[in-house]
Amino acid sequence: MGRSGVGAVALFTLSLLFVSYKMVDSAIGVNWGTLSFHKMRPSTVVDLLKANKITKVKLFDTNPDALRALMGTGTQVMVGIPNEMLSSFNSDLFVQQNLSRFIGKNGADIRYVAVGNEPFLTSYGGQFQNYVVPAMVNLQQSLVKANLANYVKLVVPCNADAYEANVPSQGTFRPELTQIMTQLVSFLNSNGSPFVVNIYPFLSLYGNSDFPQDYAFFEGSSHPVPDGPNTYYNAFDGNFDTLVAALTKLGYGQMPIVIGEIGWPTDGAVGANLTAARVFNQGLISHVLSNKGTPLRPGSPLADVY
């Protein structure tokens, strides 16, 4: 959702994904956004995480209050570097101040650093594009120096607009991103990192009056999408497999994929309400925990979903 999405993530993550469900080898995490009119104390957020057996959390920065509150909890953490910092930050200093001082015995269990947030978003006009890979290379070197490279992995959360297709099997990355995506995916593969993508079926519904509403959810659709031998009954599977196809065309069809953001808002737009949000999130959780996979990855459990 880019910069504008952090506040929305803060609001619907804490109010909607904290719902009752049985966790089975949990792959479900939450985003912890801090742009909100009603900020919760970090200790309160951590208590909510514990109470709902949420063991993974994704931050959009390296908020020290949040990291201190997470110390000793065993919660796996993804921290983030804002896009605006990519061109100028000192990677050694970043690792020292934001990772090394929090990691350790009874420390914060930081597993990932998100290098930017949707830096290839079309609306950014390429302004962050050339900084991403150099920032990752410098950070990786700093992680090696700090003896953290085997523990902390670098990722780049991408918006789903980074790839395109009429049907999932034809998925490709946007032409202007082919070169940088080839470099990025090669880097991720070499360092054991997943591809992180943010998928919002709500935005597809909100932005297109012809988009079938039931296709945005997980209860089947009266407007399925045929694609060769496969048929898609929900937007999530179609979007996910479009990315799988795009990665396959680069030679990385088996790369793990993490869903960095997904959810449904409760207010602020047509179709944004508590009932729809609950149906979507419960449907998503059931879909993820079923381990059914998608048509292009059948029977393959999804990686983490935030």
Active site residues: 118, 261
**Alpha-carbon distance 167 to 237, whole Å?**
11
